[in-house]
Structure 1
Amino acid sequence: MNNGILLETGTGEVEILEFIVNNKHYAINVIKVKEVLDADNLTRLPQTHPAIAGLILCRNEIITLLDLQYVLENKKQDLSICKTIICEFNKIKVAFKIDNIVGVHRIKWDQITKPDDLSTNSLVIGNIILNNKILLLLDFEKIVTDINPSTGISEDRIVEIEYKDRSHIKIVLADDSALIRKLLLDTLHKAGFKNLTMFNDGKQALDYLNNLFENKKENFMDDVQLLITDIEMPQMDGHTLTRKVKEHPVLKRLPVIIFSSLITDNLRHKGDSVGADAQLSKPEVGDLVNLIDKYIAENNY
């Protein structure tokens, strides 16, 4: 799929791909989708995770195929015909076996509501009402990380970061994934950060920053020195949050780091266009600590 012609960044809109698995309707952000194809060259693997259907060959590239019905319902699919979504995030490519594609829809991020289940075990990060049916927006990063934890972020990725007292640094973080929020909290605590204010969508974070400005005006950075945001979030995405911060006459001084599984060479221009100070892929949590230190030093905090 050609992501270069998609909607303008930071407008509060998202394009989703609707697809079906076992007669249930699901959605994925189009920005993650590289290609949709019928795979007929499945190579099965011995003694592997039951959700891994095998390997497929796509344009001379070997890609792991996951059985999405097994992931969602613990039931094996018929793999003789592989309708497949090929995705890229967290610096890896992975394919998902589905039943059928419905189409692409453009919606507002605020049309995506948070699920009632906010536990770290939920695979649903948002509910979308569309054409009198509910689409479940899936957490594909968690699906892959559950199968292979080394593809996600973990405390192990900051073992080389020297601990020091960073408790005076006040950081706002926005990420809709309870799992990622916990991992960020654990890893940043391990590096010495203690003063962290966390939100599960961009709108909450922006309301907090606007309230700080209303109360402190030019001195708002006494209470926050840096913003870290995911991209995909219900209510307000990270690109829109970044754009609104950087268009504000005073809040624009706040350094913004976009920390997302969607940071790739092909998509980095989207964060640049909304004024992000830095962008980092989620697995590189050790580099995140270094970036925070850099911007804090530049602002003499």
Structure 2
Amino acid sequence: MSNHKGILLESGTNELEIVEFQVGTNKFGINVIKVKEIIQPITVTYIPHAHPNVEGIVQLRGEVLPVVDMAKVLGLQTNTRDEQEKYIVAEFNKQRVVFHVDNVTQIHRISWNQIEKPSDIYQGSSSHVIGVIKREDEMILLLDFERIIVDINPESGINVESVKKLGKRERSDKKIVIAEDSPLLRKLLHDTLNEAGYMNLEFFENGKDALEYLEGLVKVTSDIAEHVQMLVTDIEMPQMDGHHLTRKVKENPNLTKLPVLIFSSLITDDLRHKGDQVGAEDQISKPEIAELVLKIDKFIL
């Protein structure tokens, strides 16, 4: 599983592949793109006073990586762990981390529109679930791995101070549409972009809603620049992902001039070509919020 470049050859198809894994009796999913490899557990070195969800560290190919106990993260009882348990070695937000799970079962290829957003009623504000995939007689829960890591190490998240250093400028009349499914990140983006002087923001929790909004605007007038000056989008979102959204915008003659910035934890050298293929003006890796502000400045000031 070391090379995923060929998995979804065409960009913007609104599909993804997920690795299904188990913790206890529950089934969860992680985007294949985040997975570097799956290995058998190796010797863990305990770290005193580490976060309770961190088992310790391992050395893998000369690199020292933290091991996160997913049973503790999810508050689940697991059976006595056995020979089926696995380490999922993942990479996102420019960092590598190992997730300790009870079993890795299979890979599914699905469309983002098959993933339902979990209801606030049953997930609560502290949930790590960002999507529910219904398959025959079972459900697979898609987890917010970025949030799991930020909960352990808040320093790895978006840094508002880095934006304050840029200073406020007169940016408030420029309108930015933002597609981001994480409530936590929507608030952080709202606060940090306001701090930078961008006050005119329109948020959507998936690409489908953002696209419908933009398409509605160009029915009134063909010049999208009169209404919106920038689209910022995440990649992983239920209903419609950011690559598909970007592709749809660039294929629409009335929207094609709208600059699109992809702001995602999945921006790596291996995956940058996907954003290029769908026509994004630029791509910034989370959590580099200061860089995002500078890129917005470049395109719309």
Aligned to 2:18: 16
Q: What is the TM-score when the length of structure 1 is the normalising length?
A: 0.95
After superposition, what is the alpha-carbon deviation per residue over 1:2-23, rounded to whole angstroms, capped at 9, x for unaligned? Answer: 2111112101111111110011
Distance 2:24 2:77 in 1: 10
Moved more, 33-42 or 250-259: 33-42
Total equivalences in the alignment? 296
Match of 2:177 among 172, 178, 183: 172
The structural deviation recorded for 1:121 is: 2.3
Q: What is the TM-score when the length of structure 2 is the normalising length?
A: 0.95
User: Does the CA contact (< 8 Å) of 2:224 and 2:258 recur in 1?
Assistant: no
1:20–1:66: structure 2 CA closer, same or farther, 3 Å change rule?
same
Runs of 5+ in structure 1 lacking a partner? none
Aligned to 2:5: 4
Aligned to 2:186: 181
After superposition, what is the alpha-carbon deviation per residue over 1:117-175, rounded to whole angstroms, capped at 9, x for unaligned? Answer: 27552210000001310100000000000110111113123131111121100000000
Runs of 5+ in structure 2 lacking a partner? none
Match of 1:211 among 208, 211, 216: 216
Aligned to 2:137: 132
After superposition, what is the alpha-carbon deviation per residue over 1:219-245, rounded to whole angstroms, capped at 9, x for unaligned? Answer: 221110000000000000000000111
Distance 1:292 1:283 in 2: 15
The percent identity for this pair of structures is 50
The structural deviation recorded for 1:44 is: 1.0
Distance 2:46 2:261 in 1: 40
After superposition, what is the alpha-carbon deviation per residue over 1:17-51, rounded to whole angstroms, capped at 9, x for unaligned? Answer: 11100110001111111110012221111111110
Question: What's the secondary structure of 1:27's corresponding residue?
Answer: strand
Structural RMSD (CA)? 1.5
Match of 1:220 among 214, 221, 224: 224
Question: What's the secondary structure of 2:5's corresponding residue?
Answer: helix
Match of 2:157 among 152, 155, 164: 152
Match of 2:167 among 150, 162, 165: 162
The structural deviation recorded for 1:102 is: 1.2
| Letter in structure 2 aligned against 1:171 | I
User: Does the CA contact (< 8 Å) of 1:40 and 1:80 recur in 2?
Assistant: no
> Given the alignment of the two structures, is residue 112 of structure 1 paired with residue 115 of structure 2, yes or no?
yes
Match of 1:100 among 94, 100, 103: 103
User: Does the CA contact (< 8 Å) of 1:67 and 1:76 recur in 2?
Assistant: no
Q: Which runs of 4+ in 1 moved over 4 A?
A: 74-82
